[in-house]
C-alpha cells in the first residue's frame, strides 16, 4: 500500500525505487507514489544539484503517471526508445505551478540518455491542463545506456510487483457500481424475448 492512500495526517514516508548519482554533483531520485486509483498512481522524479560541500543548491520535481513510465521503461529495455515528454501542473489560488519532464536518447553523446525536469510558472488552459509559461528552475542529467536500462528494469519490476501485491484493491478501486433504470430492464427483457 502506498503511504499516500490512507495517510490520516500522520508522518509520510517515501519509498525510494531508484537513485543515480552523476559525476557533476547531481542526483536523480525516483520514489513511490503509487495508489490504487489509476488516476492518482504516480512516481516522483526528483533532480537535485549540490555544491562542492554537498549542500543542495537546486531541486526540481515531476510526478509521472505509472502507466506512462511503464511504457517508457518497456521502450528503453526493448531498444525502441527515442523520446518522451510529460506536462503536468498544479493550479493554486495565487500561483499555478507547471512541471515538464523530458527524456531523450541523443546517440551523439557518450551518455545518450538526457533527462530534464523544468519547474516554473504555469497557466491553466482548457479543462484544467497546465501549460508552462516561464521555467524558473531546470536541471538536466545524462545517463549511459547501461544506467538507463538498469533504471528502466528496476522501475518496471517495482511497479509490476506493487501491482501484483495490490491486485484486488486496485480492482475494487476501478469497479463502477450502478443501478439499472426501469428503461434498462425493459430493453434487456425485450432483447431476451426476441
Q: Examine the pLDDT at 1 and tell me if it is beyond 50.
A: no
C-alpha cell at 179: 443501478
Residue 28 lies in a domain: yes
Q: Examine the pLDDT at 9 and tell me if it is beyond 90.
A: no
How many structural domains comprise the chain? Answer: 1
Q: Examine the pLDDT at 188 and tell me if it is beyond 90.
A: no
Domain that holds residue 108: 16-170
How much is the pTM?
0.79
Residue 129 lies in a domain: yes
What are 21-51's pLDDT values in tens digits? Answer: 998 999 999 999 998 888 889 999 999 999 9
Q: What is the CATH number of the domain that holds 149?
A: 2.30.31.10
Amino acid at each position: 500500500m502506498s503511504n499516500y492512500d490512507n495517510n490520516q495526517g500522520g508522518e509520510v514516508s517515501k519509498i525510494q525505487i531508484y537513485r543515480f548519482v552523476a559525476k557533476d554533483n547531481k542526483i536523480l531520485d525516483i520514489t513511490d507514489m503509487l495508489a490504487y486509483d489509476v488516476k492518482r498512481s504516480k512516481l516522483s522524479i526528483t533532480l537535485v544539484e549540490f555544491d562542492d560541500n554537498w549542500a543542495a543548491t537546486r531541486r526540481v520535481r515531476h510526478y509521472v503517471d505509472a502507466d506512462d513510465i511503464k511504457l517508457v521503461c518497456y521502450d528503453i529495455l526493448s531498444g525502441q526508445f527515442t523520446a518522451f515528454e510529460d506536462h503536468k501542473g498544479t493550479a493554486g489560488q495565487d500561483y499555478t505551478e507547471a512541471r515538464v519532464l523530458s527524456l531523450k536518447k541523443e546517440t551523439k553523446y557518450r551518455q545518450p540518455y538526457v533527462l530534464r525536469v523544468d519547474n516554473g510558472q504555469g497557466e491553466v488552459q482548457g479543462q484544467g491542463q497546465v501549460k508552462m509559461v516561464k521555467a524558473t528552475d531546470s536541471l538536466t542529467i545524462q545517463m549511459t545506456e547501461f544506467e538507463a536500462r538498469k533504471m528502466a528494469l528496476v522501475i518496471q519490476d517495482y511497479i509490476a510487483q506493487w501491482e501484483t501485491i495490490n491486485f484486488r484493491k486496485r480492482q475494487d478501486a476501478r469497479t463502477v457500481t450502478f443501478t439499472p433504470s426501469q428503461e434498462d430492464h425493459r430493453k434487456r427483457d425485450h432483447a431476451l424475448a426476441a
